[in-house]
Amino acid sequence: MTKKLLKVVSRIAGSMFLVIVCLLAFVVLSSRISGGEPTILGYQVKAVLSGSMEPVFQTGSIVAIEIKEKQSSYKKGDVITFRMDGKSITHRIIDVEIQNGQAVYKTKGDNNDGPDHWTVTGQNVVGKYTGITIPYVGYALKYAGSKLGSALLLFIPGLLFMISAFYSISGAKKELEAAKMG
């Protein structure tokens, strides 16, 4: 009974690992091919690289960002991702002002002592945090984006499929031999 349970748990864990590796490969390779950020059904996945928004999300997590529409407007309290000096930053809006007929956002990381030293214009906003966070996966996503990580994402699924095929063939061979003997 314990061996059977262990075998089932092992197969489930192996399948989950394979699915995660394949998803990481898809996200990383699709972003490399398109030359932009990985986008799936209007959402982007971002790796959290600092603790500025703890405890909302931890360093090393991934967060889902809903990509903004052309005429999106955000309100105080929304958590947005925006581009600043070539980097993506995800912080909370603490104030909204209108300048020259355009909304301008004052932001702050929840874990930071003071507000950010800049204001964010609407064209710099990438999107709004959806409330979906997965801890620790950001570390894997960041590594997968490296040259070595990308190479491993191509190699590991192929190796796993080959191992799976080997086990399937050897299992079928054993069944066939048992059927011939019995």
Lookup result for tokens 């570390």: 139
Q: Would you say residue 170 lies in a domain?
A: no
Res 37: pLDDT: 64
Q: Would you say residue 131 lies in a domain?
A: yes
Q: Kindly tell me if the per-residue pLDDT of 85 is higher than 80.
A: yes
| Residues forming the active site | 50
**pLDDT tens-digit map of 157-172:** 778 778 888 888 887 7
Q: Can you read off the two tokens belonging to residue 162?
A: 């080959």
Query: Which domain does 114 fall in, by range?
Result: 2-161
Q: What is the mean pLDDT of residues 75-94?
A: 90
Q: How many domains does the chain have?
A: 1
Q: Would you say residue 179 lies in a domain?
A: no
Q: What is the mean pLDDT of residues 106-111?
A: 92
Residue 122 belongs to a domain with what CATH number? 2.10.109.10
Q: Would you say residue 169 lies in a domain?
A: no
Q: Is 2 helix (H, G, I), strand (E, B) or coil?
A: helix
Res 175: pLDDT: 80
Q: Would you say residue 176 lies in a domain?
A: no
Helix orientation angle between 137-144 and 2-34, rounded to the nearest 10 degrees: 50
Q: Would you say residue 175 lies in a domain?
A: no
Q: Would you say residue 173 lies in a domain?
A: no
Strand stretches in 10-61, DSSP E: 39-40, 43-47
Query: CB–CB of 92/106 below 8 Å?
Result: no
**pLDDT tens-digit map of 28-52:** 666 666 656 666 677 777 888 888 8
Q: Would you say residue 134 lies in a domain?
A: yes
Q: Kindly tell me if the per-residue pLDDT of 99 is higher than 70.
A: yes
- Provide the whole-model pTM: 0.65
